[in-house]
Structure 1
Amino acid sequence: MEDQVPDRVDEEDEFRVRSLLGGYCRSLIPADTRTLLTGFSPLEPRLTIWTPKKILSSRTKAKSTLGKVEGPYRCVDHFESLAEEDFPGKDTLDKLFNHAVERFGSLHCLGTRDLLSEENEVQPNGKVFKKLILGEYKWLSYNEVDTIVDEFGSGLAALGQKPKSCIAIFCETRAEWMITAQSCFRRNFPLVTFYATLGEDAIAFGLNETGVTHLVTSAELLETKLKNVLPQIPKLKHVIYVDQKKINTDGYTAGLSIHSMQSVRDLGALPENLERPIVKPQSSDLAVVMYTSGSTGSPKGVMIIHSNLIAGMTGQCERIPGLGPNDTYIAYLPLAHVLEMTAEISCVTYGCQIGYSSPQTLSDQSTKIKKGSKGDSSVLRPTLMAAVPEIMDRINKNVMSKVQEMSYVQRTLFTLGYKYKLEQIRRGYDAPLCNVLLFRKVKKLLGGRVRMMLSGGAPLSPATQRFMNVCFCCPVGQGYGLTETCGAGTITEVADISTGRVGAPLICCEIRLRGWVEGGYTHNDKPNPRGEVLIGGPNVTQGYYSHENNDSDFFVDEKGQRWFCTGDIGEFHPDGCLQIVDRKKDLVKLQAGEYVSLGKVESALKNSSLIDNICAYANSEQNYVISFVVPNQKKMMELAKQRRVTGTFEEICTHPEMEREVLKEIKEVAVHSNVKLQRFEIPIKVHLSPEPWTPETGLVTDAFKLKRKELKNHYLHHIERMYGGK
């Protein structure tokens, strides 16, 4: 991050500001706040509240149970076994929800903002953007959600949905998604989930593979995506749309019944339906078949049983201190992603309130929020949020862009305050005066109350992690997990001030490394052992739906424990924390025999303020790396003006002079990056793409991971050009 703040400030100014900040910060911390800021952990009673986070973060967090460097490693806080501390006997998801209703019945549970109006706004380039004006959050209490869950589940049963028979949901993140899920958990209807941005072929594939007869969706997705697909799904009999509006059912497949969610609830509320006996699930019953968006090939449905999810959530919640009814969670990531689904179920279990949002309405500056009106974060003021690195990177670049536009005095003060607080964080302390004077406005971008953020889905760069720590005044935990492990694997502790690592194994699982000689990763590597990450424990799922390759990805050891082979390359540090250093599929051997880690190259170069997104590419028959770059439009236009290159953004991106400028920036960033790149790893040719990569374009997943195969096909002509073929 240091290389993103203004470079030079007057030394006398720096001394004066440091003295001022240092003198005030310690005196302003109330005694009760010191406990929070110093990271006191009740798991370590021998440490006092004055112990800096630096000391807490250096303690041993996990050990190898067999004393071998490759593991298996387990968390030292719960070394023996997984304990049912908070919810004894609650071994299925319906029991967790019923328990939450009993405890928190009258409290707010799920909240949605009213749509007051929408307008079309014409952009200078002729494009039309839809802008929304939204009202306050309207809340359903736990008791109200419980009633809706009862009625909707009863209505689905009345429409012929059978226990242990799959039902699908293809819908955006919203309260009705979670209500549908809880209805299915209660009546033992395994829920098949699909990303709302999944392509038509993938949707048809998954619906046919699981043989569903009932599908829950939204009116928009029904009319824009599903209408063309439905004739390809012969077993589907009922489609339920969750919106309040009425839709035209003309032109749909004969024999297909289309219902509103309210009409299904009304059917379920009839006494003869509501009083039907419920077949409750067992802990070993299938709860979810979660189709991954997949960075390669056809989507795969991961089979998750109730006990898998409960084990995974137990591990995740243990790393979030103080989770409870005082927390507000903002939900905007895809609920068909295991990170978001488990986060929301956990929040409901602990009595939190969940306010629904979307990436397009998250903040006041979001693309669908009309200028002058408030985004969801400003209205909801959440205390907890999950994010993928792509979203944090955007926030980072947007804020730093605003800093560059400040006056010299403002910029200097911000820079000095930033560096001072960064130094305090590294020592294990906070800087409250900086928080009040310098970072309060930045913090308000997300409502001003966020006490913890969790990043998952892809590696978070150290620069962005430090930026979020400093400017948003809250710990940013990195998590590592996969759909196949219920999103659970590792999460960094609140007190851990290190960057680039994903923490120690959660209490629900253990992790070991398997050497990969071909890629050059072994247990004997110095300074730390490295290898493919294997995750074992009760959170490891049951394999892929109707797939024959389960044996190569999953296995059971001699003790009967299930393991999943992740394909990620990890390194264990002496304190038991894991760092993800590579991925098998991202490794390409060049013509001369050198291995290039494409993910490593991208991680290093995304730190450039000129680059919004980048995909590195290498052909084994060639001896150099090339890249596709989505440049930052504002920075690119400024650079073009300096170089006297004129035209639209699209024309500027195709100008040879601008390609040379971006390559010059790439080399500069590669030299100064914390991620050390070898000379052969640095791309020497580039194609600039004026269109951003979004899940809607099909070039990235819903978690914004690159789809390398699709990107290669999309830019095939440019690959041939850059490699001299055309």
Structure 2
Amino acid sequence: MKLKEDLNPFLLQVLHSIIWVYSAVTFLPWYFLSGASQKLSRAKRVKARPVNSTPGSPYRSVNSVHCLASVLYPGCDTLDKVFEFAKHRYKERDCLGTRELISEEDELQPNGKVFKKVILGRYNWLTYAETYLAAAHFGSGLAALGQKPKSNIAIFCETRAEWIITAQACFMYNFPLVTLYSTLGGPAIAHGLNETEVTHIITSKDLLQSRLKAILLQVPRLQHIIIVDDKPTAWTDFPRGIMVHNMAMVQALGAKTQNMSKPPNQPVPSDIAVIMYTSGSTGIPKGVMISHSNLIAGITGMAERIPNLGEHDTYIGYLPLAHVLELSAELVCVSHGCRIGYSSPQTLADQSTKIKKGSKGDTSMLKPTLMAAVPEIMDRIYKNVMTKVEEMNRVQRTLFVLAYNYKMEQISKGYSTPLCDSFVFRKVRSLLGGKTRVLLSGGAPLSAATQRFMNICFCCPVGQGYGLTETCGAGTISEMSDYSTGRVGAPLVCCEIKLKNWEEGGYYCTNKPNPRGEILIGGPNVAMGYYKNEVRNKEDFFVDENGQRWFCTGDIGEFHPDGCLKIVVH
């Protein structure tokens, strides 16, 4: 959608003439020197094809036509092996970073409300070797507290370094990790803990006091609560039989020679790695059983879509790790030697609600190159930037709008605009740190207007993806060279996608010009099923004649001629 140009028509004509002359003079040198021809060919190429000519045949990525990818590194068929591989390869490189809290104070707002404001310092980093050791000690300590291999353990915690350390500890010691959204209500939390029969739970001081404490009597099997916060505190008023520990104390217990000398019971690829409870927007949340091999296949597919992914990259982690998108994204990063700096929606940018005026938000300090975002956050960024544009004087606003519309025109043709990026959009880009090269969108549909806005103002591609908890978040991701909007890309190399006729809605694989139908995803990334829910397992999952597992999404999609998927009905 073009922005409205608000200036004297004569001056506008002059500016348009200048832009036309600039484009004419610079086009040919830029076209040949930048390799634009190859980029355009890549953007327009066929990205996925049906396996055969039969209507309803599965589509596969052109990079995995003959065999779906299932392993990231040879010999690394479980998540503990992937992390060990990363530890050896990236030993002394930064792995997980957390900002130092300098001060916290209450600030009275003009409307009478009181907000907590923080001043945060630099990021303090754990290396890959230090992160691995922290996870090994924690896993050993949990075992010393009576946690058994293949017995479920829960985490109910905000996104932070301790979350991923806990996950890696559980992967090492073969403790299936039950994840619960911190936004779930009390009955849903109690349901998840009781259904999975956990005796140990990892949480934070805030969530223990605000959410968990009220339901402890409803979870009779619970014996141990481990608090991730690093300050030891005396805990009182808990039901008899429940012991409350500090994470650092459990790690110290695990580091003792008599405990570390006991080798962990290592998992096999088919063992459950995670039981991930859905958000429960409709009814009681379901626990999705995800094996080590499922997650490895999923992150293998995702990693293939991110160009030049490696140890030079920094990822900002702030979305809920109990959501499959964030967990998969962080596992992708750890497996490739990236740094992960932790944040929260309240401290993300300089203008975020918890950041004290004049101090730096997390993106300004971290300067991430990779970022995942749900459409809600991108819509919020879009509104904030456009509000600032409206506050500009008439000339500034018109120059911004001219640059915006010019760049939108160029992007739609597959061209870049280095001068606009440097002189007009640099300040907007700095809202996310100024170095973001890939934005991954998932969790909900992203509007074409917001996607194009992020392309233009933040000068980076937006990889829109489609996946579900039941497919480890892996299904499709649009290629970074694909400048189209409103589509979710071609199938990842770890899976194949087919469309099933939905007669009631009038969607058929034989529809013209594009085949339509219910989206079915098959491959090694498809989860083992729902925990203790055979009725839904029979409805939503099936195994075909070749032994391949499939998930029926219930969403309607259509395949375009280049093999990219568009979601028609969610």
TM bin (shorter chain): over 0.9
| Closer, same or farther: CA 259–17 of 1 in aligned 2, 3 Å | farther
| Closer, same or farther: CA 209–272 of 1 in aligned 2, 3 Å | same
CA–CA separation in structure 2 for the residues paired with 1:561 and 1:7: 58
For residues 143-154 of structure 1, what are the structure 2 equivalents within 5 Å?
143-154=129-140
Deviation digits for residues 111-140 of structure 1, max 9, x if unmatched? 000111112112222211111110000000
CA–CA separation in structure 2 for the residues paired with 1:28 and 1:269: 62
Q: Does 1:531 align with 2:517?
A: yes
Q: What's the counterpart of residue 577 of structure 1?
A: 564
Q: What's the counterpart of residue 72 of structure 1?
A: 58
Deviation digits for residues 189-242 of structure 1, max 9, x if unmatched? 000001111111111000000000100000110111111111111111100000
Q: Does 1:238 align with 2:224?
A: yes
For residues 5-154 of structure 1, what are the structure 2 equivalents within 5 Å?
5-6=4-5, 10=9, 11-19=12-20, 21-22=22-23, 26=27, 34-35=34-35, 38=36, 50-53=37-40, 55-83=41-69, 87-154=73-140
Q: Does 1:310 align with 2:317?
A: no
Q: What's the counterpart of residue 157 of structure 2?
A: 171
CA–CA separation in structure 2 for the residues paired with 1:7 and 1:581: 36
Contact between 2:186 and 2:215, CA under 8 Å: does it hold in 1?
yes
Tell me by how many angstroms 1:528 deviates: 1.1
Paired amino acid for 1:386: A
Q: Does 1:559 align with 2:560?
A: no
CA–CA separation in structure 2 for the residues paired with 1:20 and 1:111: 48
Q: What's the counterpart of residue 527 of structure 2?
A: 541
| Closer, same or farther: CA 144–386 of 1 in aligned 2, 3 Å | same
Question: Aligned to 1:417, what secondary structure does the other structure show?
Answer: helix
Question: Aligned to 1:236, what secondary structure does the other structure show?
Answer: coil
Question: Aligned to 2:529, what secondary structure does the other structure show?
Answer: coil
Q: What's the counterpart of residue 550 of structure 1?
A: 537
| Closer, same or farther: CA 6–251 of 1 in aligned 2, 3 Å | farther
Q: Does 1:516 align with 2:502?
A: yes
* Cα RMSD for the two superposed structures: 1.6
Larger mean CA deviation between 401-410 and 151-160 belongs to 401-410
| Closer, same or farther: CA 29–175 of 1 in aligned 2, 3 Å | farther
Question: Aligned to 1:137, what secondary structure does the other structure show?
Answer: strand
| Closer, same or farther: CA 205–9 of 1 in aligned 2, 3 Å | farther
CA–CA separation in structure 1 for the residues paired with 2:417 and 2:291: 45
Tell me by how many angstroms 1:328 deviates: 0.1
Q: What's the counterpart of residue 242 of structure 2?
A: 256
Tell me by how many angstroms 1:14 deviates: 3.5
Deviation digits for residues 129-157 of structure 1, max 9, x if unmatched? 11111000000001111111111111000
Contact between 2:141 and 2:252, CA under 8 Å: does it hold in 1?
yes
Q: What's the counterpart of residue 623 of structure 1?
A: none
Q: Does 1:349 align with 2:339?
A: no
Question: Aligned to 2:315, what secondary structure does the other structure show?
Answer: strand
Deviation digits for residues 309-339 of structure 1, max 9, x if unmatched? 0111111100001110000000000000001
Contact between 1:533 and 1:567, CA under 8 Å: does it hold in 2?
yes
- Counterpart of 2:450 (choices 459, 464, 473) is 464
Q: What's the counterpart of residue 436 of structure 1?
A: 422
Q: What's the counterpart of residue 382 of structure 2?
A: 396
CA–CA separation in structure 1 for the residues paired with 2:405 and 2:337: 38
CA–CA separation in structure 2 for the residues paired with 1:459 and 1:6: 29
For residues 670-685 of structure 1, what are the structure 2 equivalents within 5 Å?
none
Q: Which consecutive residues of structure 1, in runs of 5 or more, have no partner in the other structure?
A: 39-49, 584-726
CA–CA separation in structure 1 for the residues paired with 2:467 and 2:50: 19
Tell me by how many angstroms 1:428 deviates: 1.0
Contact between 1:25 and 1:432, CA under 8 Å: does it hold in 2?
no
CA–CA separation in structure 2 for the residues paired with 1:262 and 1:27: 61
Number of residue-to-residue matches in the alignment? 567
Identical residues among aligned pairs (%) = 62
Larger mean CA deviation between 117-126 and 460-469 belongs to 117-126
Paired amino acid for 1:297: G
| Closer, same or farther: CA 371–23 of 1 in aligned 2, 3 Å | farther
Tell me by how many angstroms 1:78 deviates: 1.6
Contact between 2:70 and 2:296, CA under 8 Å: does it hold in 1?
no
Q: What's the counterpart of residue 506 of structure 1?
A: 492
CA–CA separation in structure 2 for the residues paired with 1:151 and 1:20: 65
CA–CA separation in structure 1 for the residues paired with 2:147 and 2:71: 35
Tell me by how many angstroms 1:60 deviates: 1.0
Q: What's the counterpart of residue 600 of structure 1?
A: none
Q: Does 1:202 align with 2:163?
A: no
Q: Does 1:449 align with 2:450?
A: no
Contact between 2:501 and 2:517, CA under 8 Å: does it hold in 1?
yes
Query: TM-score, normalised to structure 2's length?
Result: 0.97
Tell me by how many angstroms 1:84 deviates: 6.5
Contact between 1:21 and 1:434, CA under 8 Å: does it hold in 2?
no
CA–CA separation in structure 2 for the residues paired with 1:223 and 1:367: 23
Contact between 2:69 and 2:297, CA under 8 Å: does it hold in 1?
no
Contact between 2:70 and 2:297, CA under 8 Å: does it hold in 1?
no
CA–CA separation in structure 1 for the residues paired with 2:61 and 2:464: 16
| Closer, same or farther: CA 29–128 of 1 in aligned 2, 3 Å | farther
For residues 305-704 of structure 1, what are the structure 2 equivalents within 5 Å?
305-548=291-534, 549-583=536-570
CA–CA separation in structure 1 for the residues paired with 2:55 and 2:29: 45
Deviation digits for residues 661-686 of structure 1, max 9, x if unmatched? xxxxxxxxxxxxxxxxxxxxxxxxxx
Contact between 2:203 and 2:225, CA under 8 Å: does it hold in 1?
yes
Paired amino acid for 2:528: Q
Paired amino acid for 1:573: H
Contact between 2:497 and 2:519, CA under 8 Å: does it hold in 1?
yes
Paired amino acid for 2:20: S
- Counterpart of 2:265 (choices 279, 301, 321) is 279
Paired amino acid for 1:276: K
Tell me by how many angstroms 1:59 deviates: 1.3
Tell me by how many angstroms 1:392 deviates: 0.5
CA–CA separation in structure 1 for the residues paired with 2:314 and 2:483: 25
Paired amino acid for 1:566: T
Question: Aligned to 2:38, what secondary structure does the other structure show?
Answer: coil
Tell me by how many angstroms 1:70 deviates: 2.4
Deviation digits for residues 36-70 of structure 1, max 9, x if unmatched? xx4xxxxxxxxxxx3243x3222111111121342
Question: Aligned to 2:550, what secondary structure does the other structure show?
Answer: strand
Q: What's the counterpart of residue 694 of structure 1?
A: none
| Closer, same or farther: CA 152–52 of 1 in aligned 2, 3 Å | closer
| Closer, same or farther: CA 31–258 of 1 in aligned 2, 3 Å | farther
Question: Aligned to 1:78, what secondary structure does the other structure show?
Answer: coil
CA–CA separation in structure 2 for the residues paired with 1:463 and 1:6: 17
CA–CA separation in structure 2 for the residues paired with 1:145 and 1:218: 19
CA–CA separation in structure 2 for the residues paired with 1:532 and 1:369: 44
Question: Aligned to 1:77, what secondary structure does the other structure show?
Answer: coil
CA–CA separation in structure 1 for the residues paired with 2:8 and 2:175: 63
CA–CA separation in structure 2 for the residues paired with 1:176 and 1:161: 18
Question: Aligned to 1:63, what secondary structure does the other structure show?
Answer: strand
Tell me by how many angstroms 1:421 deviates: 0.9
Paired amino acid for 1:133: I
CA–CA separation in structure 2 for the residues paired with 1:433 and 1:376: 27
Larger mean CA deviation between 7-16 and 490-499 belongs to 7-16
Tell me by how many angstroms 1:7 deviates: 6.0
